[in-house]
Chain A
Amino acid sequence: METRADAGVLAPEFLRVTGRRKELADTWTLELEPRAEFPFRPGQFNMVYVFGFGEVAISISGDPAAPGKLVHTVRAVGKLTTALCASKAGAQLGIRGPFGTSWPVDEAAGGDVVLVAGGLGLAPLRPAVYRILAEREKFGRVTLLYGARSPETVLYRAELRRWARAGIDVRVTVDAADARWRGNVGVVTRLIDQAAVTAGATAAFVCGPEIMMRFAVSSLTQRGIPTDRISVSMERNMKCAVGFCGHCQYGPEFICRDGPVFPFRRIEHLFRIREL
């Protein structure tokens, strides 16, 4: 592990917001302009600082091949994220990062890939999708299974269609919908049963609420995918992102440093423990 002693590890750099798009009623995508290129790996996150409010860990949801732009999709749930979502073009946000581990996209080349997302969990997976599409021919069957609460909360709707045209088997389901919805209704694990998910050289990337990940992993393992080929992204309270504040501990792991993306096998034994 590299050692970073510069003050920048704990202090942010201010970047200008260049774009803001409303995704859902409470969810916005912000684009920032880095001073220099901002390279990152799919699945990594930044600490985003809003003046006077503080910092919050947000996954990077942009294209790793376009490091001239920094993209975050944020849901307004508290004061800080509400203020963050309200940042208009021209506003300045503090950025520290990127931090953490990433989706093993390169390791998945040569085989099939199944991406399973729940709710806003699609955002940290989007850079992996971009990366796969950039070299689509390197992968076998690529399947994206996405569960949202309702048709109104389906994130990146236009892109989902685009990805489907670009050679990804995209399947969406919602927990509940009225008669106008003609797609799937039910939990995302049902899609795993529907889709042509097979074992073999298949890698699975799973991101969403823990309960959803638990069911998704169990469906995937039933399909014969070993737990070291399944990656999950974990989320915990984080104050520092460098292993000092102690908040993100998950048994022996620091989510900020050892995660957020883990091979499921590594944390399998922790996943069963309540209130860890």
Chain B
Amino acid sequence: MAQSGRREPAPAGDICAHRRCTLGYSFRDATLIPHLALPHPGRTAVRMNATSGHHVLPVSRLGDLFSALRSAGWNLAGPRIRDGAIVYDELETAADLPAGWTDEQAPGKYGLKKRGDGALFGYVVGPHSWKKYLFPPTVRMWSATKTADGMEVEVPQPAAPPTAFIGVRACELAAIAVQDKVFLGSGFVDPVYKARRDNIFLVAVNCGQAGGTCFCSSMNTGPKARGGFDIALTEILEDGHRFLLESGSERGERLVALLAAPAASDADRSAADAAVARAVSMMGRTMETSGVKELLQRNYEHPRWDHVAARCLACTNCTMVCPTCFCSTVEDVPNLSLDRSDHVRTWDSCFTSDFSYIHGGSVRPSVKSRYRQWMVHKLSTWHDQFASSGCVGCGRCITWCPTGIDITEEVREIRASDGANT
């Protein structure tokens, strides 16, 4: 996987005055070029000392933000409609956004609908998450080649096309922070994740509405982005379609400055606050999280696991759509002449019986034990492993479960009969 050289910034003639620019870029570019962006691995937003003022950008000028990012060398990825769903894919211009569309979500149900206004971010999260960019579904980790005097290992330079993520929701920023802990912060560093993570620019969008399966308020992750972004937008539809801009990093601040957007008024700010408040009031699901870690670990034998097992198809959908699920497997793919074998990593799921296969059998032969593994991990043992919840409340697993199994309902049921035993 060769790195795409497309839109790489060219060194400018004048030497950069910025102390962090060592490559001779112009001052203007140095604030934006991807590969200079990160002083620390896995930390995108350089925290700013003072809160910068908010700015306001009319919808007609959103394209300027896109152009500024592109001319600074970033590829753009964001929401667009494909096959009846809003997914994350490459964006060329702001016109690619799903203008005027919204999504309707319920357990096991997803559909798109016209909104009747021109909102560009008037929906919540779809089946994709940003993990497909940071933790690719399939990646060649290394290859072994037979040579005259033995074997040789080739480790590819991890591909990390500089990418600006457009429209990252608060729950998704939280999910990225969760995967940062898994791949960067627990003793070993995954070179694939790190290379990609170091090369992104995060444009967050604060939710102005919530979906039928959302419960970020319960998980304390949204609907307003509180950090970890470069720029956060809030879409305001009333009294002039516009965006409130907030920067969360130095380079975000410089990009906002480049746009020369006027300072936000009190009216802009309160309209943005109202949008977020509306999302809070629309939250389709709730989960009581107090003591959930202990609750689940003392209820491994609860009869509810049989109840959910009777509905779960072990299809793996919930793990594929979950923005924090990180399990993978590897496959060795030899070439036809058998002198080279690629070691390929792909997403895996704890819902397959193969997942725990050892010595001629599966450790978790029953679907009951696999659902239990997944849910107890998400909400409980994740805390032991990574000092955070493994669930950010995005609701994807509820929406995309073919039988509509609802993690919030499962917790509620176990809590209601805490200590019951099969």
Q: Which residues of A contact B (CB under 8 A)?
A: 1-5, 7, 9-14, 16, 49, 51-55, 77-78, 92, 94, 235-237, 239-240, 242-247, 249, 251-252, 254, 257, 273-276
A13-B153, A244-B326, A249-B377 known; A236 and B358 CB under 8 Å? yes
Contact call B150/A249, Cβ cutoff below 8 A? no
Residues of chain B within 8 A (CB-CB) of A254 are 385
Q: How large is the interface on B (under 10, 10 to 19, 20 to 34, 35 or more residues)?
A: 35 or more
Could you mark each residue 348-379 of chain B with 1 if its beta carbon is under 8 Å from any beta carbon of chain A, else 0? 10100001111110011110110001001100
A249-B381, A252-B381 known; A52 and B338 CB under 8 Å? yes
Contact call B381/A77, Cβ cutoff below 8 A? no
Contact call B144/A10, Cβ cutoff below 8 A? no
Looking at the complex, which one of B153, B187, B355, B384 makes contact with A242 (CB distance below 8 Å)?
B187
Q: What are 5 pairs between A and B in contact, CB < 8 Å?
A: A1-B187, A94-B153, A244-B182, A246-B350, A275-B364
Asked whether B328 is an interface residue with its Cβ less than 8 Å from the other chain, the reply is yes
Which of B207-215, B238-246, B329-337 has 4 or more CB atoms under 8 Å from chain A?
A: B329-337
Contact call B188/A4, Cβ cutoff below 8 A? yes
Contact call B357/A237, Cβ cutoff below 8 A? yes
| Alpha-carbon separation in the docked complex, A5 to B350 (Å) | 26
The majority secondary structure among interface residues of chain B is mixed
Asked whether B183 is an interface residue with its Cβ less than 8 Å from the other chain, the reply is yes
A92-B150, A244-B182 known; A236 and B356 CB under 8 Å? yes
Looking at the complex, which one of A7, A10, A235 makes contact with B358 (CB distance below 8 Å)?
A235
| Alpha-carbon separation in the docked complex, A224 to B187 (Å) | 37
- Which 8 A-B residue pairs are closest in the complex by CB-CB distance? A246-B327, A252-B384, A275-B369, A5-B189, A1-B187, A242-B188, A14-B151, A52-B334
Asked whether B297 is an interface residue with its Cβ less than 8 Å from the other chain, the reply is yes
Q: How far is the CB of B294 from chain A (nearest CB, A)?
A: 12
Nearest CB to that of B341 among chain A residues?
A52
| Alpha-carbon separation in the docked complex, A60 to B29 (Å) | 53
Contact call A11/B358, Cβ cutoff below 8 A? no
Q: How far is the CB of A210 from chain B (nearest CB, A)?
A: 9
| Alpha-carbon separation in the docked complex, A236 to B373 (Å) | 14
Contact call B327/A245, Cβ cutoff below 8 A? yes
Looking at the complex, which one of A2, A53, A77, A244 makes contact with B190 (CB distance below 8 Å)?
A244
Could you mark each residue 224-260 of chain B with 1 if its beta carbon is under 8 Å from any beta carbon of chain A, else 0? 0000000000000000000000000000000000000
